[in-house]
Amino acid sequence: MGTASGDQPAGASSDKLRHVESMSELPSGAGRISGINAVVLGESLAAEEHDLVYPSAEFSADALVPSPKQYQKMYERSINDPAGFWSEIADAFYWKEKWNPSEVCSENLDVTKGPVQISWFKGGKTNICYNAVDRNIEAGNGDKIAMYWEGNEPGQDGKLTYSELLDRVCQLANYLKSVGVGKGDAVIIYLPMLLELPIAMLACARIGAVHSVVFAGFSADSLAQRIVDCKPKLVITCNAVKRGVKPILLKDIVDAGLAESEKQGVAVGLCLTYENQSAMKREDTKWQAGRDVWWQDVVTSFPTKCDVEWVDAEDPLFLLYTSGSTGKPKGVLHTTGGYMVYSATTFKYAFDYKPSDIYWCTADCGWITGHSYVTYGPLLNGATVLVFEGTPNYPDSGRCWDIVDKYKVTIFYTAPTLVRSLMRDGTEYVTRHSRKSLRVLGSVGEPINPSAWRWFYNIVGDSRCPISDTWWQTETGGFMITPLPGAWPQKPGSATFPFFGVQPVIVDEKGKEIEGECSGYLCIKKSWPGAFRTLYGDHDRYETTYFKPFAGYYFTGDGCSRDKDGYHWLTGRVDDVINVSGHRIGTAEVESALVSHPKCAEAAVVAVEHEVKGQGIYAFVTLVDGVPYSEELRKSLILTVRNQIGAFAAPDKIHWAPGLPKTRSGKIMRRILRKIASKQLDELGDTSTLADPGVVDQLIALKDC
């Protein structure tokens, strides 16, 4: 289990980096690796017996961080001299006023020593929109494509250069100012993945307004909760969107949300509505005169020049609501300066970004990934970003690779759920496309199990693209533990090592740090520039949730294992840990074992009460297409888990699942699975955000099979 220790020195722990330190020279071929089951990027497939995937000499030679030695040098500087390290990086951006050199970072993470507070670049004044757009134009890149847009239907597309993007942002910013939106005012954005979504985010940032993007799959009640909490000056939406062949009437949802918020005492007098003609005609849209305004009727008449509102580094940039265990959403508040520097830097290094790259992140801007790695991080680096409105399986499961070939995408960043879904559909949808442009892959949202990692690497990336398997959270603002392509060998399923400035520690139940090979609670020691500063209007909850469990640390809520080589393996949320007869078993660990079975396409595991063991393991299993349910297969799946983890982790119940309840972003709704497993069918709650609500009825029908 490792050894517990007291206070650790501020410097990098050589034990945690021992494996990296030992690999200052990367081999040029697998044949040179003695005693290690390994392959080299581009030379062969990664099979189950291969524990390590090395970058090729060619890839490393051109990488921003080309070796473990270079990473170690930069990492140790970032820990031992954070003020100097981050100041040098921040200097690359434009600041109207420089920060106080003696106050680059100020923090208290220990609730026993006073209120928790974090600040970075105190006294500095800047603007993230200016740095993401104007600065690139001034550098001579005004004619470079900032954003490609691919619509729901193949053939629907668009693009904006950086100069065109600035014009559009300024027009909307001027409109917002004309209706009274100013510095510090909240604006709720409820839009699908049209170009107008990042434009709206940037327009708010330009004038110092605080945007709160609400994923356009949330119900009217969820939207109303957010309206009541942040009291926006206006809501920005569109009349409708198509997801595949299904039209979704977003304006109707907004109307209902506004009506509900008004009942709760918060009236919003303006709803700016974009006419999405491909989904619904203007005349078919329900309308409330005096409140509703068409975007196209007003915004396009405003000037294409808009002065920048220079804001303090610690002024709010955005609110993003994330689910809480109490059911009330938490308004995660990010500020400007530190978030700008951190989102830009993590994007640059984790994807080994080059100016010629075409970058595609499949996430929606309604989630933190769409903030940091669709909008801000890429644009701050002057990148060309692809924005996709549609779904990955429409009109068929080859859509992603159609898009990759069409735009010559070089960096592809997606979720393990999507990878597993595409695995289930078979390799032919992938292999009929070239994908030769791809050079880096990425994974986000949850731990990626090794079998999905290998499929992503072998099939999608043709065994020649490293995978940045990133671990981070809405609260962290950017990547925390992530591979750096070209820097060190990867282990399928491991997030590997910490990003610059990040000090992850694994603690036991008493908050003691554990050294060496171990498992426990993942915490972060010391702050980093991208850290969130509070929960909007509820600093007590901020401290109670994140800093009181282990005084002096940010508690991530995740479990983590560190292997003998120092690699980090995320085991899922601590509340997704099942305690079976005293054994703590991560749901992700059991799911990974199930999915390694050749006939299992996807699995989701939840805890159920057990009269003997305290908690039992209940597994929902989706089989590969065409495989029939059978008792023999059920036994085989259970045996797989027994063999890989141990008899104590064997599922008590295998529940056949034609599909799993997922949001439109691909997140599995485990709350619903817990209710089904516990036979609490009258407490399923809101299923309106599911991509396919019919899946719930299918699961209920199969509960006794």
Please list the alpha-helical segments (H only) found in 49-194: 57-61, 68-80, 82-90, 128-129, 135-136, 162-178
pLDDT reported for residue 98:
97
Is 681 within a domain?
A: yes
**Could you give the 3-state DSSP secondary structure of residue 73?**
helix
Q: Is 485 within 8 Å of 351 (Cβ atoms)?
A: yes
Domain containing 684 equals: 581-702
pLDDT reported for residue 582:
60
Q: Is 337 within 8 Å of 313 (Cβ atoms)?
A: yes
Is 429 within a domain?
A: no
pLDDT reported for residue 38:
87
Is 142 within a domain?
A: no
Task: For CA atoms 276, 280, 284, 285, give the dihedral sign.
Answer: negative
pLDDT reported for residue 323:
64
Q: Cβ atoms within 10 A of the Cβ of 37, count?
A: 12
Is 419 within a domain?
A: no
Structure letter (DSSP) for residue 498: B
> In this structure, what token pair is assigned to residue 701?
């029908």
Is 638 within a domain?
A: yes
User: Domains in the chain: how many in total?
Assistant: 1
- Tell me which residues are annotated as active site: 575
CA-nearest of 337, 374, 376, 339 to 359 is 374
Q: Phi, psi at residue 518, to the nearest 5°?
A: -165, 175
Assign residue 594 the CATH number of its domain. Answer: 3.30.300.30
Report d(CA 550, CA 523) in Å as an integer. Answer: 8
**Residue 387's beta-bridge partner residues?**
149
Is 33 within a domain?
A: no
Residue 485's Cβ-count burial label (10 Å; 0-12, 13-18, 19+) is buried
- Distances in whole angstroms, Cα of residue 644 to Cα of each of 38, 215, 401, 456, 592: 20, 38, 33, 22, 10
Rg (CA), the chain: 25
pLDDT reported for residue 23:
43
Is 678 within a domain?
A: yes
Is 657 within a domain?
A: yes
pLDDT reported for residue 8:
36
Residue ranges of the chain whose pLDDT lies below 50: 1, 3-16, 18-20, 22-35, 325-326
Please list the alpha-helical segments (H only) found in 428-522: 428-431, 450-455
